[in-house]
Chains A and B, each alone.
Chain A
Amino acid sequence: MDRSDTFDIEFTLNGEAVAATVPARRLLIHFLRDDLDLTGPKIGCDTGHCGACTVLYNGRTIKSCMMLAVQADGATIETVEALAADGEMTPVQQAFHEHHALQCGYCTSGMVMSATYLLEKNPSPSPEEIREGLRGNLCRCTGYVNIVEAVAAAAGKETSA
C-alpha cells in the first residue's frame, strides 16, 4: 500500500486501454478534459450539482468532478464520445435532436449520459420517473419540457405531461 502524490493508472476509456500518470489531487473531469483532450464532458459547477461532467463509471453514471482521476484505475469509463462512435446517433441523441431538447448544448453531454442510463434501467419511464432520473443534471436553457419529451420518445412513448 503505497502512499504518494502521483500515481500510474490504467483503465478502459470508451473501449480503449489508457495508461497515464496523474497527480493524486487531479479530478477525473480535469484529467479527461485537459490530459486526454476528451472535451465532451463539461464543467458547470464547483460542487457536484450540475451534472455536466456525467460519465459512466463501471456502467453507472457518476459526476466526474466528484472523483479523483486516480480512482479511475482499473475501471471502465465511458463518455458521451462513445455514444455515436460508429457515426450513427443513438436513439436518445436522435430524440433530443428531433424534440429540440437542447439549446446551448452545454448540459447536453451529461444529460444524454443520464438519459441513456435511465432508459437502460427503466425502459418505459413515466414523465415523473424521467424527471427524477435526470435530477442530477441541470439545464438552464430548455426548462426541461422538451428533454422529458425526448426521453419519453426515445423510450418509444409519447407523453402529454
Chain B
Amino acid sequence: MILAPVEYCRPDTVDEAVEALNSSPDARALAGGQSLINVLKMRAAAVDLLVDISRLEELKGIVRHDDGTLEIGAGVTYAELAESDLLGGDPRAIAEVAADTVDPQVRHRGTIGGNVCHADPINNFPPLMVALGATMHVVGPDGAARDIPAEEFFTGFFTTAVEDGELLKSITVPALADGTAVGYVDLEIGEAAARAVAVVRTEDDQIAEAKLVIGCLPVPTRRPEVEAALVGTAVTEAAVAEATAAAADGVEPLSDADATAEYRKAVIPVVAKRAVLAAAKGGHRG
C-alpha cells in the first residue's frame, strides 16, 4: 500500500508541534501511527502534513500525584503503560487493558493519546477513560489549554472534542475510592464487537456505587439508569443481571460483517452484567 504524497516534520517541543498543526488545515499529528498509517494507506483522509510527535519527551511521562491522581502523557505507548511500576497499583485496569492491546508490535508503537483521539468505536481506551472519570488536557495555539472530561471528549464516530490545530497533551485519571474496582469485559468476534466497563464500589456484598460504560458504540456511553438500579443490589448473578437488563436500551450499535446491531443489542446486557460482576468481585478483565 502506497501513501499519497505528503509532507512531514518532526518538531522538538509541544509548542512547535501545535504551531505545525496550525500551519495547514490538513495537518495531522502522527503519534504511534498504528491507526493513522492505515488511514493514509487507504487514502481515506486528505492529509498534507504529518507532524511527528512520537519522540516528544513532554508527552512521555507517567506521574503519580500526591492525591493519587495519575497523569499519563499522550505519547506513552501501550507497552510503557503495561510495564510501568506506577500502574502496578490502582487503577491497574489501565495497565491490564494496555497489556492486552492488539499485539506486541502495536504495543511498542501505539500510544494512549492516539487510541483516544482516533476514537474508533472498537478502541479499548475510550470507554475505560469515561468509566474512570479521566480528564483530557488539550493544548492549542498561543499557549491555550483546555481540560475536557472524558465523558465530553468523545463526540461521535471517529471524532473527539480536539479541534483542528489542537493537541492532546496528557490524561489525568483520579484515584479510585477504597473498595472500588474496575471490570472490563468484551465479546470479541475477530475484533471487539461488544464491550462494557464497570467501576463498582461494594460494601458488605452489596453494590454501593456503580458506573457503567458501554463501548463499541459510536461514542462510549454511560448508563445512568442502570447505574442507579445497581446501587443496593446484591453481588449475585441474578440480581446484577436484572439491574443490567436495560443496558442496551436506547443505544444504537453498528452493523458490520461480524455482527448486526440487533445482535449487539442483545449481548450488551451480557457483557454489562459480566463487567459489573467482575468489578464487584474485586476487578477482573475478561
Contact = CB atoms under 8 A, between A and B. Distances in A.
B66 interface: no
21 contacts: A1-B11, A1-B20, A3-B9, A3-B20, A4-B9, A5-B8, A23-B5, A24-B8, A25-B2, A26-B3, A47-B38, A48-B37, A57-B108, A66-B109, A67-B33, A67-B37, A71-B54, A73-B10, A117-B104, A136-B104, A137-B103
Contacts of B33: 66-68, 71
B8 A136 contact: no
B6 interface: yes
B16 interface: yes
Contacts of A62: 105, 108-109
Nearest to B40: A25
B67 interface: no
A30 B34 CA distance: 17
B255 interface: no
Interface in B1-55: 1-12, 16, 20, 23, 30, 33-34, 37-38, 40-42, 49-50, 52, 54
B9 A1 contact: yes
Nearest to A61: B105
A99 B5 CA distance: 45
Contacts, number: 102
From A54, A62, A65, name the one whose CB has the most chain B CB atoms within 10 angstroms: A62
Contact of B109 (A23, A67, A117): A67
Interface in A44-75: 46-48, 51, 54, 57, 60-63, 65-68, 70-71, 73
A125 interface: no
From B20, B50, B103, name the one whose CB has the most chain A CB atoms within 10 angstroms: B103
Interface residues of B, number: 35
A73 B10 CA distance: 11
Nearest to B17: A1
Given A1-B10, A1-B12, A71 B5 contact: no
A1 B16 contact: yes
A104 B32 CA distance: 31
B63 interface: no
Contact of B34 (A25, A46, A66, A135): A66
A54 B38 CA distance: 16
Q: Kindly state the interface size class of chain A when it binds its partner.
A: 35 or more
B7 A24 contact: yes
Interface string A21-37: 00111110010000000
Given A25-B40, A65-B1, A135-B103, 16 more contacts: A3-B23, A4-B9, A24-B8, A27-B3, A46-B1, A46-B41, A48-B34, A51-B103, A60-B108, A61-B104, A62-B109, A63-B105, A68-B50, A70-B10, A71-B33, A136-B106
B50 A24 contact: yes
A122 to B, nearest CB: 11
Contacts of B8: 3-5, 7, 24, 68, 70
B259 interface: no
A47 B108 contact: no
Nearest to A63: B105
Contacts of B42: 46
A16 interface: no
A61 B4 CA distance: 26
B79 interface: yes
Nearest to A113: B105
A85 B159 CA distance: 47
Contacts of A30: 2
A32 B139 CA distance: 36
Interface string B91-122: 00000000000111110110000000000000
A136 B103 contact: yes
B113 to A, nearest CB: 16
Q: Which 9 A-B pairs have the closest CB atoms?
A: A136-B103, A24-B8, A3-B9, A25-B3, A135-B103, A60-B108, A136-B105, A46-B1, A63-B105
